Structure 1
Amino acid sequence: MFTTVKDAAGLTQTGIADYVGLSQASVSKVENGLEEPTPQFVQQVSELAGVVPEIFYQHDDLLPGTLFDIFHKKRLTLPAKPLKAANAQAQLTRLHVGHLLRTFDVPVTLPFPNLNVDQHESPSEVAALTRAIWQVPNGPFPDLVKVVEATGTPVILMDLGHEKLRAMSMPGAKGYGTHIILLNDRLPPSAQRFALAHEIGHLIMHEGVASEEMEKEADSFASALLMPENDIAPKLRNVRFRDLGPLKAYWRVSLASLIYRASALGLITERHARTLYMELNKLPGGRKREPGEFTREEPTLVRHVIDAYVAQGYSIPELCKLMVVTEAEFRCRFLGEAPTEGRLRLVKGTVG
């Protein structure tokens, strides 16, 4: 827990040593379990990291780094430091949310499919089966966040520190068996929606088992889930760049995703696809900040649980104690008050 808190806050042993007035070697021995920290040391590090002292004494199982490599989409070019910080922040988020949900009966109205990709013809077939299981009609996928949370899977908007780290997913904490999905709130809505569909593809198809093709498979799943071939093919055949804007608004996907889908389905030539990408790159925001963004889909599951606890008579301090989080962090992360740079944030709701 010490290492996790240290990494999540972006601290170093030397920085901690300077703050608490000890040598770096002493801090190292504490972190490696060779010395028992004093209550004063724990209090000082808690203040420095912005956590409650009780967090260091939690016995929740932390996920090994190998599981993170399997369960979230990691670009090879992502710098190690922000990746380490994001992993650690995700570990703490998993702990906080797990404590909130483990004694609460989360309403589940949709099943979470388990469709191993090796047992089906393609990721596109898995996507079609997923839409059928979730009873999604033809055409654009409705609010994807709402559908995913209907399976009991919390979706959380969080600053993951780097735009290349689009989303992360992980098994739930002890006592709460579902998964938890984190979406990078640095991304525009269209990129968030595709990233969420990508993570859902991993969780449905790969069961935590890595493969060389898993990223391509998850992208193919996401494309087929959001843009079914039979529905979108007539609109993408030899599509022109000026047609992409209205299609983006209707299908609620990015311009780049539409070009990718048209190319993958063989509805445009490779040369045509390159031309469309070139036109997209010429826009002021390029691919990172496309025009015509729509309203973001907002998670509500965790917030509804908090509202339910409050309705039962829980106070904010009691909820903070339950979730092992400071009140300042709780208000920032889960009530949307006075957001702190680089910290997790959920949307505004009914609790005040």
Structure 2
Amino acid sequence: MPSAWIHSLSKQQAERLAIELGVSVDGTLGGLRRKLKEKWSSLEPHLPSQLTAKSELAMDAAASVGNVTLNAGIPGQVSYVQAKMRGRVVVNLVRNIPVLSGTGPESVLHFLIRAQGVYDLNLVGDLEFLALLVGRTSGRVTQILGLHLGTSSKWGVVSSEISSTFLPPRIREEFVSKYVLRHFQSPTEYLNEFIVSVVAAARILSYHGSESDLVQRIVQNMHPRVRSYLVFGSKPTTISELHALASHVAEARAIDAQRQGFAGASQSEGRGSRQVSMAIDQTRRVQSRGVVCWKCLGRGHLKRDCPSTVPLPSSNQGNEQGARQ
């Protein structure tokens, strides 16, 4: 979905939103808006209701500028209100992760991929994140989360233990091929969602290729309809460049869809005009059936179109009858 709404934020609103999303406020307003746009592109695929979450976040950012002191000079420092807002956003994101009810390797991988994507947004601390995940799990996975909550472990440690417990090496090798090397983007999948899922899968499955190699794999596996938008773009070599590219693709596709909508409306108007013209012509043909020719006294045509070669009668009978009709 396009993120043009970010460009309407004032400097204070943009700085407020940047602090809440963990984005540096250094630089010009234009540069800050670009960084916010890239950050939002990585955040948006996880939102359970993109439009609602986006508008609420933007309005909260605008409304709270006057009530909260911006701590731009202290990196990483956030107020209570800011932390509460981040927590609310993450709660919504975690609720969008399907509940892990079993321990099948594929189910566990899908759960870890979704969880890793939310964690990478860096909106809350590890312990808060682990506590939220407990409600999305059951059985052995819940026990692992609970044990690490008691020892204040990092999410990376917990993810590694879950992965090593339920994803043995042979399964990992199969999943690397399926979800990293040969994972093709589906026609209905947003590019950012595709990027997030592949990158998270590569990390969870301990893919040993370089970042540039992974980026190249992702570009090669993009849907052909998406690759057509990359003709005039520079070749990405990092994950951050991939997300920026995905944002540009989303904007371009939205513009194309808008143009197609205008073209369809114009064609509909044109078809409607032709239908009216046909109706008028039909009416004229019906009306012409009562016309009497002054030359042959026949019906349905005028004297100038008369096919008869018989001379005009000497009397005015034809004119009088035509006038009466």
Give the TM-score, by structure 2 length.
0.27
Between structure 1 and structure 2, the one with the greater Rg is 2
More strand by share: 1
TM-score, normalised to structure 1, is 0.26
